[in-house]
Amino acid sequence: MTTHIKVHGYHIDIFQHVNNARYLEFYEADRWEWMNKRNFISWAIKNNLTMAAVNINVNYIQGVLLGDELTVVTRMDKIGTKSAVCYQQIIRNKAGAQEVVSDAYVTFVFIDNIENKAIVIDEQLREKLESFKVGSEDFIQN
């Protein structure tokens, strides 16, 4: 999955670069697209599940400036018993070259909306999550 973002004035802070909190918004935008493309959100709602991020580790490699054209990519990295981890990159597209400006690992759990507690990832959910492991061809090796 990829999301394309052009950095506009409203993305910039008083120091004339994209603030670190905006990177989290860019990452989240791509995760929503990632899930929507696979009809995962409607499936989760139908099954009374909520996906909740419990840990985000972000590396800020280079600053992003006004006018930069970015591509955000996401893939499933690991699926455990109670949590899963996706890996994401923000790539700057400049003068025909691509460079990673940030990457992140996002750990999330699934909440049963009726019981209001985290669940064990069962076979059906695991199968859905396995389908998110594709798409690694868009990533840049660091």
Residues catalogued as catalytic: 13
Rounded CA-CA distance 20/124 in Å is: 36
To which residue do tokens 């859905």 refer?
128
Task: Select from 42, 130, 31 the least CA-distant residue to 90.
Answer: 31
Cα 87 → chain centroid: 7
User: Which long-range contacts link 11-14 to residues 24+ away (Cβ below 8 Å)?
Assistant: 11/64, 11/66, 12/65, 12/66
* Six-digit token string for 77: 């990295």
